[in-house]
Every structure is written in C-alpha cells, then in structure tokens.
Amino acid sequence: MSLDMSAAKTPASPEKASLKDARAEHARLGAEIAKHDIAYHQNDAPTVSDADYDALRRRFDALEKEFPALADLPSPARGVGSAPAQKFAKIRHVVPMLSLGNVFDADEVQEFVERVRRFLGLGAEASVDITAEPKIDGLSCSIRYEKGELVHAVTRGDGFEGEDVTANVKTISEIPRKLHGDAPAVLEVRGEVYMTHADFTALNKRQEAEGGKVFANPRNAAAGSLRQLDSSITAKRPLHFFAYAWGEITGGMPASTQRGMVEAFAKFGLPTNPRMTLCRGAGDMIAFFDKLGEDRARLGYDIDGVVYKVNDLAYQDRLGFVSRAPRWAVAHKFPAEQATTLLLGIEIQVGRTGALTPVAKLEPVTVGGVVVSNATLHNEDEIARKDIRVGDAVVVQRAGDVIPQIVRVIVEKREGDPPKYAFPDVCPKCGSAAIREIDEKTGEADVVRRCTGGLICPAQAVERLRHFCSRNALDIEGLGDKQIEFFHEKGLIKTPADIFTLEARDKERVAKIENFEGFGKVSTRNLFAAIEARREVELNRFIFALGIRRIGETNARRLARHFGEFAALRACARAAGDPASEARAEINNISGVGDVVAEAVADFFVEDHNERELDRLLEQVTPTPMESVATDSPVAGKTVVFTGALERMTREEAKAQAERLGAKVAGSVSKKTDILVAGPGAGSKLTKAQDAGVRVMSEDEWLAMIAGT
Ligand code: IVH
C-alpha cells in the first residue's frame, strides 16, 4: 500500500513530528524491535531490559496512532514471529463460516433470482438488486477487530471452528492492525487470503532453488503460507486479502446493503475487490459473468467464478440459510476452459525417484486467456486409453490447477493411420532400462515406468546421493542434504564414488572447498575425516546405500547374510538377469525375499551403467562382513532348510537363530543346501534332500549342534 505523501505537506504542530520524520523513526524503531524480538523469542537471549523494550514498543505504537498510514506499512517489528508453536490453537466462530450453493448456467442464474423473489413475495415489477463480484480462489479467513484493533484471525476450518493464524495474518502488510475511522466496537471481517500469479511464480522459483516444496497452484501456495507454524516464514511470503463478508458485529452496522458494507470495509482501510458491481437482474448478472470471464487471465490472481449476493441486508435476513449455505447468495462457477490444438510431440521427463512422466508438447494455444504449450499426460496407460498419437488434434482443458490436461483426441481430424505412441523403455536421461514393476498384491504392472539407472541417472542423482550418505546407509557426517545439493550443483559430487575422491580432487583445485561460504578450514577437515572413516562399511549398509528398488534395510541384511560378501551377490545378481536362471532362483529362495525383490535386484545389476559405477565405488570403499553374523559357528556359511513341524520353537525363531549364527536359510532344497532340519510331517523336501545326499537332521540334533555357540 502506498503512502499518501500529500499529508507530509500539511504543517505539523511543533511538538508533532512531520510524517516524513515519523516514517524514518518508524522504520528505525521497527528494525530495532525486530532485532530484539529475534534475540528474545528465537535465540532465548534478550538484548535489552524489558523496560527498555516496552519503551521502544510504546513509542512505535504512538507513532502509528499519530500517523495511521504508518500502521499499514510493512515493518519487521510485525514480521518476526515467535518460535514455532507445536500446532495452531483452535478458535470457535461466533457466527459460523458457511459455504455457497452453485449455479452453472444462465438458466440457473435466472432461477436463483426467481427463487429470491418468490421467497420474499415480490411482484414481477419489483426489482431485486444483486451484487456480483469475483469468486477468489484462495482460502477464507475471519479477522476480528475490537475497538478497531486486530485481536485475532482464524481460518475457516470446518466452518464452526478454525485455526488461530493471528501471528501470520499480522505479517500481511495490506491487512491493517488498526482500522481507520469509526469502526464498530466488534467487527469480524471475512474474506479471502490469496497469492498473485507473479508472486506465485517467483515463490516457486525460489522454493525450487532452495530445494523446498514447489506448489501446484497459487491457492495451495497461499494456504501453505498462511498455515505456517513459524510466522517468520509467512512474513516472507507475499499474501493478499480481499474483504467480502462479515461475522459478528456489535455497536451498529456500518451500512444496510451488501455494497455499502464492502464500501465501509474499504473506508476502514481493508482491501476490497474493485470489480464488485450492482446488478439489476439476471441479465446484468450474466453480462458481469461473461465480461469477468474475458478478463480473467489479466486479473493477476486466480478466480473460479462469480459470487452473487442479494444487496439489501434486510432481505438477506429474511432469506436466511438453508442447510449450510445462505439463500441470499450463490456461486456461479466458470466452466473448465477448453481449446483445440495439435500435439506436436511427447516429451518424457524423469523425476527425482526415477519415474518417467510423459508431457504433451502442444502447438501453443490460448486457453482462457493463458497460452498453453505443455499438458500433462499422466502415464503411459492414459496415453493408450485415450489413444493419443503424435500429430493428433486434441482438446486441452485448464481446470483448477495450473497444469492443463488433454481431454480427448479429435479422431475425425486424424489423417491416415499414424503409429500408436510407443512409450520408451529406456530412460531418456541416462539410457538405462525403464521398467514397470509388478505390484506384489495385485500382480498387475505399476502405472509408472521407472528408470533403473539409480546410481548414474542425473535426474535421480541428488536423491540417490542423499540416500547413500544417510544415517542407516554410509552415515557420512557433515554430508547432509544441503551439502550434497551444494556439491552436486558445483559439479563436485555427481555419483557416490565422487564423494571419496573429493579430497584428492580438492588438493588439485585452485578454488578450495574451505574457501566456499559456510565451510572454512575446520569443517572441511572434519568432512574429509568423516568420509575417510567410511571407506570400510558393513556389507548390509553398503547394499542398502545403493538405493536398489525394494532393498530396504531388512532386505539388504538378508542379501548380506546370504552372500557374505559383495562379490558373491554381484556375480549372482548379474546372472539373475534371466528370470529362468538358477541365479534368479537362488535370490528368490532367500528367506523373506520373493519374486519382486529378486527381479529388482537383477534389474539393478544387469544395468551396465550401474556396474561401472560400482567398479568405481569399490575402488574407494570396502564392504566388510556384517557385524552381527557369527563366522565361527559350526553352521556359519552353511545353507539350511527347515521342513516339517518344529516342536521346540517356531519356524521364524529357528530361522532368526540360524541366521544369527551365520547360516543362510533357504526356502527350498537345492544343490547348495547343506543341512535339512526335518520335523514330523516332512514331505517332499525330505525325499529331495535324501536323494541329493544332503545331510538331514532332527530338530534336537540341530539344537545339539548349535548348543554352546
Ligand atoms: S461469500 C456466507 N464472496 O467461496 C457466504 N465467498 O464456495 C460467504 N469465496 O468459503 C462467502 N470469493 O472461501 C464469498 N467474493 C466472495 C468469495 C467467496 C471466494 C469463497 C469462500 C467461501 C467459498 C464458498
């Protein structure tokens, strides 16, 4: 909000500062107060006495009282919040915040007007004035003023109880802390908090650069920003507000019409929407709706329709509410905007987790005033279902979200029989195989195709590096998310092996890490030491760190236990590329591992890119035997199969015990089986073992053998 500088020209009384001076003092005091606020609230280390702080605050408040325009200026004294609360307090709405019914076309608008007339018993000749205004696509908020002072602000919540977002709303500069003029004793102003398109784009850019959350649309961004527990974050997010309704009011209504009320809000210093118009009937209302639809793209903020309200407040009172919506108001939503254009191509994007997402490249077309040249295609099944082919004429639609969709193909316009779209089965970023996993439960292929080049795919690099360094993986202290992103961006760490060559390369470089901002000699030395300390790492951690699909900590431990050393796993997994191979069966047979996991392991090792990266990595890192596995027990390294009933312990317990002693527990008998523990009722496994000359023992014999270990 700009300041009215003409006021500065009015001569000030001698004891009063001029507005210009006041503004300078206000700014200086604001900065000082903010500094003390941070010291007190966030650092728990006050920098002034309470009395001095109070004096600063009093002077600051006095200036705002004397020059109300100052109260509307953004000031850091308002922006800095206290330390984040655990969660928002709940506040009940004295007057519930209700929702609106909808109409979708001109006939329904006409019906709304007729209904109002009928209810009020108005003759055909009597006119009913109705206001029309944009329906803002943000989130509604109720702000309570007592004696003109903002006391609290609450989200809509369930309409009856919302969240106390007072501290956050106070950071929105265009919402006055103090109302101007002669405001009612209690005034609850209701309206919409929203974010402009420009601010939304800038915020997302910033978020992306900082690795923060990227928002789908301005509404989500506004909601995410208002519902921050830490109001200093909200303070950095540019939010706006339009006042359009009210809750409790005591001490006299400022007006007797809807329009008069909103005009009064504006006089009190609240932002109101400039497009609000008084309509004399359905014709005017439709004209307003059509014009707003035309102007929609140029407004600079998202709207999703028009809200019509009966202007006369006495009528509003008589009309009242039906269920949870007023009879005196209705929302007229814009239809989803559509246009026809050509599909020029399909681009495959690779996400951070390796998911391949198809994006339609369109001949640019204006949809509801916005030029669209990309649309989401969701996944390959969707492309097949809609039979979308490159070169097709397609209908595009913009719904609530910013990303447009392809509704359908106009088949009549297709020339000849262009080839059906073939979704790639290799990753466009790194050339690795891209596969659709089979869902264990349904047995159906996952809708998402994923790149298997986890270690080398640039699209997945940062995510993979993070996983590699994480606590249960390599656990490299000093290489947190921020540092990884930083080194990756600088091109210093692209793959896991690069971590271990970082120090050597740094020695060769002119621009040393210790000179980068935020590093310095000590932390760089510590970082290198932490990396050195992890050149030897337990096998299970190493396997887990590779980020193989479906290999979490438990499966990594199973593989480590079974194979004992990395080379054995690697050789077997490489040979397991063929689903019919013995190698695949071996992995499959490891207790707790099944088809799906075995396939994921094979897919990873079959990939030459991953193999090369593994070679590089193994030059730097040595996997060591899993700590908890005994190597000196009589069953260490032996493959054991349990069959039949066990009488002294459960099957699960027996397995766990055997594994602790370094044995591998398999589910079926093969050439590699060393021992078959057979209880009563043993069937085919026993016969097979006997035929193969495998050592067979009873549960008691087994227990005797491992006793004392
Ligand atoms: S009036 C009792 N006016 O739309 C009626 N609502 O679908 C109070 N909205 O929850 C609502 N712009 O969040 C009204 N100009 C406007 C609006 C508006 C957006 C939202 C509001 C409400 C929802 C109902």
pLDDT tens digits for 392-435? 999 998 865 557 889 999 999 998 899 999 999 999 988 999 99
Q: Would you state the pLDDT for residue 24?
A: 85
In short, whether 140's Cβ falls inside 6 Å of ligand 1 is yes
CB 310 within 8 A of CB 128: yes
pLDDT of residue 367: 84
Task: Give the HSE-up count for residue 143: Cα atoms under 13 Å, Cβ half-sphere.
Answer: 30
Among 16, 20, 90, 135, which one carries the catalytic annotation?
Answer: 135
With pLDDT > 70 as the criterion, what percentage of the chain qualifies? 92
Q: Are 516 and 526 contacting, i.e. CB atoms less than 8 angstroms apart? A: no
* CA dist., res. 485 & res. 511, Å (int): 18
CB 116, CB 319: distance < 8 Å: yes
Q: With 90 as the cut, is the pLDDT of residue 87 above it? A: no
Q: For residue 410, give every residue at least 6 positions away whose Cβ sits within 8 Å of its Cβ, in sequence order, or none.
A: 340, 392, 393, 394, 395
Is 329 a pocket residue for ligand 1 (Cβ < 6 Å)?
yes
pLDDT of residue 54: 66
pLDDT reported for residue 85? 36
pTM for the model: 0.50
Q: What is the mean pLDDT of residues 697-705?
A: 90
CA dihedral 23, 25, 27, 33 (to 10 degrees): -140
Q: How confident is the model at residue 629 (pLDDT cuts 50, 70, 90)?
A: low
Q: Provide the CATH number for the domain formed by 639-706 in this structure.
A: 3.40.50.10190
Ligand 1 closest atom vs CA 133: 15
Three-class secondary structure of residue 527 per DSSP: helix
Cβ pair 459, 354 in contact under 8 A:
yes
pLDDT digits (tens, 9 = 90+) for 573-615: 999 999 999 999 999 988 888 888 999 999 999 988 899 999 9
Maximum average pLDDT range among 28-42, 355-369, 436-450 = 355-369
Is residue 145 within 8 Å of residue 248, measured between CB atoms?
no
Token pair of 86 as six digits = 């655990």
Scanning 242-368, the segments in alpha helix (DSSP H) are 258-267, 282-295, 313-319
> What confidence score (pLDDT) does residue 539 get?
95
| CATH architecture classification, 538-624 | Orthogonal Bundle (1.10)
Residue 647: predicted pLDDT: 86
Token pair, residue 645, equals 């009933």
Provide the residue type at 474 as one letter.
L
The pLDDT confidence band at residue 13, using thresholds 50, 70 and 90, is very low
Please tell me the predicted confidence (pLDDT) of residue 181. 92
CA–centroid distance, 332 to ligand 1, in Å, is 11
Query: Does the pLDDT value for residue 630 go beyond 70?
Result: no
Most confident by average pLDDT, 118-122, 484-488, 500-504, 687-691: 500-504
Question: What is the pLDDT, as a whole number, of residue 176?
Answer: 96
| Helix pair angle (582-589, 595-606), 10° resolution | 130
> Residue 624 is inside which H or E element, if any?
strand 622-624
What confidence tens digit (pLDDT) does each residue in 135-145 have?
999 999 999 99
* Mean pLDDT calculated for residue range 471-488: 89
For residue 6, pLDDT beyond 90: no
Residue % of the chain over a pLDDT of 90: 55
Cα dist. 25→49, 174, 176, 284, 316 in Å?
21, 21, 19, 50, 47
List pLDDT tens digits, range 513-530.
999 888 889 999 999 999
pLDDT of residue 369: 66
- Cα 45 to ligand 1 centre (Å): 44
Helices marked H in 346-446 — which ranges? 380-385
Q: Where are the alpha helices (DSSP H) in 5-82?
A: 19-37, 50-66, 68-71, 76-79
pLDDT score recorded for residue 444: 83
User: Top-level CATH class of 90-333?
Assistant: alpha beta
* HSE of 60, CA atoms in CB hemisphere, 13 A: 20
> Does residue 245 line the site of ligand 1, with CB under 6 A?
yes
pLDDT reported for residue 241: 98
Q: What mean pLDDT comes out for the span 503-510?
A: 92
For residues 78 and 29, give the distance between their C-alpha atoms in angstroms, rounded to a whole number. 11
Say whether 333 is catalytic.
no
* Bridge partners, 492 (sequence order): none
As given in the structure block, the two tokens for residue 533 are: 């300390």
Report the SS3 class of residue 170. coil
The residue whose two tokens read 């909808």 is 102
Instruction: Decide if 457-494+501-534 and 538-624 have a common fold.
Output: yes
Measured between alpha carbons, how far apart are the two ends of the chain, in Å?
79
Whether the CB of 276 sits within 6 Å of ligand 1: no
CB 326 near ligand 1, within 6 Å: yes
What residue owns the CA closest to ligand 1's atom 2? 98
Region 539-559: mean pLDDT is 91
Domain limits, the chain: 2-79+336-413, 90-333, 457-494+501-534, 538-624, 639-706
Q: Per residue in 311-352, pLDDT tens?
A: 999 999 999 988 778 999 999 998 877 899 999 999 998 877
Categorize the per-residue pLDDT at 16 as very low, low, confident or very high, splitting at 50, 70 and 90: low
For residue 573, give every residue at least 6 positions away whose Cβ sits within 8 Å of its Cβ, in sequence order, or none: 583, 587, 601, 602, 604, 605, 606
HSE at residue 514, side-chain half, CA atoms within 13 A, is: 13
- Band the pLDDT of 50: cuts 50, 70, 90: low
Check residues 139 and 444 and name the one with the higher pLDDT: 139
Q: At residue 653, does pLDDT exceed 80?
A: no
Highest mean pLDDT among 95-109, 268-282, 445-459: 268-282
| C-alpha pair distances (Å), 143 with each of 162, 450, 589, 631 | 12, 48, 64, 69
What confidence score (pLDDT) does residue 655 get?
83
162 in ligand 1 pocket by Cβ < 6 Å?
Answer: no
The per-residue pLDDT of the chain, averaged, comes to 87
Q: Which residues fall within 8 angstroms of residue 682, CB to CB, at 6 or more apart? A: 643, 644
Strand order in the sheet with 240-250: 149-155, 139-146, 186-194, 240-250
Provide the β-strand partners of residue 649.
none
Instruction: Give the residue from 42, 437, 463, 446 showing the smallest Cα distance to 235.
Output: 42
- Asked if 261 and 311 count as a contact pair (C-beta separation under 8 A), the reply is no
* pLDDT at residue 81 greater than cutoff 50: no
Mean pLDDT of 294-309: 93
229-287 residue pLDDT tens? 888 889 989 999 999 999 999 999 999 999 999 999 999 999 999 999 999 999 999 99
| Cβ atoms of 610 and 604 closer than 8 Å | yes
Mutate to test the pocket of ligand 1, among 192, 272, 301 (most ligand atoms within 8 A of CB): 192
Residue closest via CA to ligand 1's atom 23 equals 99
Take atom 12 of ligand 1 and give the residue whose Cα is closest: 135
Instruction: Name the closest-CA residue to atom 1, ligand 1.
Output: 245
Domain at 2-79+336-413: CATH architecture? Beta Barrel (2.40)
**Does the C-beta of 192 come closer than 6 Å to ligand 1?**
yes
Tokens representing 493 are 């760490």
From the CA of 99, how far away is ligand 1's center (Å)?
A: 7
Atom of ligand 1 nearest to the CA of 273: 15
**Amino acid 411: pLDDT:** 92
Q: Under a CB-based contact definition with an 8 Å cutoff, are residues 586 and 672 in contact? A: yes
Closest CA to 590 of 604, 567, 607, 573: 573
pLDDT band at 7 (very low <50, low <70, confident <90, very high): very low
Name residues whose C-beta falls within 8 Å of residue 645's C-beta, 6 or more positions apart in sequence.
Answer: 679, 680, 681
Sequence-distant (6+) residues with CB within 8 A of 571 are none
pLDDT given at position 213: 79
Sign of CA dihedral 484, 485, 489, 495: positive
Ligand 1 atom with the shortest distance to the CA of 135: 12
Give the range among 120-129, 187-196, 308-317 with minimum mean pLDDT: 120-129
Residue 583 near ligand 1, beta carbon < 6 Å? no
Q: Identify the residue whose tokens are 């939304």.
A: 200
Report helix, strand and coil shares of the chain as percent, to nearest 5: 40, 20, 40
pLDDT tens-digit readout, 145-175: 999 999 999 999 888 999 999 999 999 999 9
Angle at 701 between CA 697 and CA 707, to 5 degrees: 135
Whether 135 lines ligand 1, by a CB cut-off of 6 Å, is yes
| The predicted structure's pLDDT at residue 42 | 47
**Tokens of residue 586, six digits:** 């071996």
Query: Quick count: other Cβ atoms within 10 Å of Cβ 437?
Result: 17
pLDDT in tens, 564-579: 999 999 999 999 999 9
Q: Give residue 84's pLDDT.
A: 36
Q: Which of 189, 259, 299, 307 to mutate to test the pocket of ligand 1 (most atoms within 8 A of CB)?
A: 307
Contacts of 698 (CB under 8 A, 6+ apart): 677, 678, 679
Q: Residue 92's pLDDT is what?
A: 93
Nearest ligand 1 atom, CA 140: 13
- Burial (CB < 10 A; 0-12, 13-18, 19+), residue 550, is middle
DSSP one-letter code for 319: H
Q: Is 63 in the pocket of ligand 1 (CB under 6 A)?
A: no
* Dihedral angle, C-alpha 499, 505, 507, 508, nearest 10 °: -170
Is it the case that residue 482 has pLDDT exceeding 50? yes
Ramachandran region, residue 300 (left: φ > 0; alpha: ψ -120 to 50; beta: rest):
left
Task: Report the CATH number of the 457-494+501-534 domain.
Answer: 1.10.150.20
Please tell me the number of Cα atoms within 13 Å of 333 on its side-chain side: 11
Which residue CA neighbors atom 17 of ligand 1 most closely?
Answer: 135
Tens-digit pLDDT profile for residues 526-547: 999 999 999 999 999 999 999 8
- Cβ of 244 below 6 Å from ligand 1: yes
97 CA distance to ligand 1 middle (Å)? 9
Q: Which two tokens stand for residue 275?
A: 């497009």
| Residue 87, amino acid | K
Phi/psi at 225 (5° precision): -80, -40
